[in-house]
A and B are shown apart, each in its own frame.
Chain A
């Protein structure tokens, strides 16, 4: 108990003192996950739109596929990409393994189904009249699409927050694809796993506190956004 209290006290000292290694780990987490979300969002929303409003063979199968991919463990995604990106793999020539790019790729794969599935639900919940009204009032397909995004913005923002929450806290794919290199690919979850395995709890607790704070903030935002969406519907 005393050890835990001591480790927690030390953790907050690390945070407050601006420990360079600790804050670099935090920065890497936000950089990698931020990039992954930025890259994954546009194609995911476009896919969600096509699934919600398009009529093409295999549409239902794709919807089921994305719903299934929601529950794929991060470590399985990590393993699959590891095999593809390793020297012996088909994408080995890209030399991406143990880089931030590989971590971003893994997090894109994890975020994409969440963005598509939740984005699809958000877009589908908008009445068909929204699209038709926009078009009949002279809006181009692009402007009508933008109008739909605006109409479903609370649902889409919820998708974004949920996807970000998932990837910034995942450890399996980042560990396998990034290699947990200090100052380069070590992010919050991989650092916690490593420090805990070494018995160095202080840094683990400090980083855990950051993740908890982030989870709390994201959840708060999510509830706020969903509440506003409900109030307006």
Chain B
């Protein structure tokens, strides 16, 4: 059993007067894939954004790699360094595909950057797109470049917000294959989705966000597969 990468205790958040997360506890390992489901507006995206250090919660304690428990504010630097958030519709900076990829490895020497960009493009099978303006890419292509960019940044944990939403079948299949490879390379994944059946082969753990708390649905004991969602249940 690998130790947890990120632990959260008593995470509380509301938008205005609407409570979203209610003293929620969570443990995430730097391996495997956790599927996060929940109703529209249940707070899935908010939870991911808080864990990635992008949104400040009302309360909660955070612990990275079994270090000391910290407030979000004090844990934020570590969260931003080790946890990455991918938007449902990934943002492409104004520039070429290569420029977007290089953004994630700006601290490396130029020659190394070029080599890594080539490797990343190879990885997502998009080598001919190297000099294409990133904003002219289709939704599926953007998703793959965003994954390549994330792969280059090499976080310990990747949080993906609806990564297959609005994608056609072929693009979805490619995205899922890339996620599988990320998982197999030892990057921990947490995927928020409305379509849990897309991730049945990928996720080894299923959590459902209900009334601000996480409920486990299915365990690795079930043959490594998550249990199907019982439709109609909150």
Contact = CB atoms under 8 A, between A and B. Distances in A.
Interface of A: 127, 129-130, 132-139, 143, 147, 150-151, 232
The residue among A132, A136, A139 with the most chain B CB atoms within 10 A of its own CB is A136
Nearest to A140: B80
Contacts of A137: 84, 103-104, 149-150, 153
Contacts of A135: 53-54, 80
Nearest to B76: A135
Interface string B74-86: 0000001101111
Contacts of B49: 132
A138 B153 contact: yes
B90 interface: yes
Given A129-B87, A232-B135, A134 B103 contact: yes
Interface in B2-57: 49, 52-54
28 contacts: A127-B91, A129-B87, A129-B89, A129-B90, A132-B54, A132-B85, A133-B87, A133-B90, A135-B53, A135-B80, A136-B53, A136-B54, A136-B80, A136-B84, A137-B104, A137-B149, A137-B150, A137-B153, A138-B104, A138-B153, A139-B106, A147-B93, A147-B103, A150-B93, A151-B93, A151-B94, A232-B94, A232-B135
Contacts of A138: 80-81, 104, 153
A149 to B, nearest CB: 12
Contacts of A150: 93-94
The residue among B81, B87, B91, B103 with the most chain A CB atoms within 10 A of its own CB is B91
B93 A130 contact: yes
Contacts of A133: 87, 90-91, 93
Contacts of B87: 129, 132-133
Contacts of B53: 135-136
Contacts of B94: 150-151, 232
A228 B93 CA distance: 15
A129 B91 contact: yes
Nearest to B81: A138
Contacts of A134: 103
Nearest to B150: A137
A135 B85 CA distance: 10
A135 B94 CA distance: 16
A135 B150 CA distance: 12
The residue among A130, A134, A137, A143 with the most chain B CB atoms within 10 A of its own CB is A137
